[in-house]
Amino acid sequence: MSTVEKVNSSEIPTHPHILSHATKVPSLIFLSGQTPVGSDGKVVAGGIQEHTRQCLANLENVLKASGSSWEKVVKVNIYLKNMDDFAAMNAIYEKLLPTPKPSRTCIQAARLPNDVDIEIEAIAAY
């Protein structure tokens, strides 16, 4: 493997001229932020809980394409449009991520791509 490898998952929409779903360097994978966009390229229906599920599913697809898994995630950054959504988002996060949970940051962002309510990115080992 060269020092830097770009990774894209065929399971989620990509913009190959703009970004890669992930970048692998020796021992680490940096996953681009995922929004609640389904395989059709459209934001999935529902509120923050459904959107959180979709972001995590998208990240899981990228982890698999990168040769990793949630068990190897070491850091997660969550960006919320509204911090009032924290408890509802966290309920899904707690349920879907394995224990022990990775280190995490969660902040309110003024505006996210396509005006979505959440974006999640991660760093994992492989």
Count of domains observed in the chain? 1
What CATH code is carried by the domain that includes residue 74? 3.30.1330.40
Categorize the per-residue pLDDT at 20 as very low, low, confident or very high, splitting at 50, 70 and 90. confident
Whole-number Å distance between alpha carbons of 29 and 111: 26
Which among 2, 3, 1, 123 is positioned nearest to 63, based on CA atoms?
123
State residue 49 phi and psi, 5-degree precision: -70, -45
State residue 40 phi and psi, 5-degree precision: -85, 0
Task: Specify the pLDDT at position 52.
Answer: 98
Query: What tens digit of pLDDT does each residue of 42-98 get?
Result: 999 999 999 999 999 999 999 999 999 999 999 999 999 999 999 999 999 999 999
**For residue 15, is pLDDT > 80?**
no
Range of the domain at 12: 5-125
Task: Specify the pLDDT at position 56.
Answer: 98
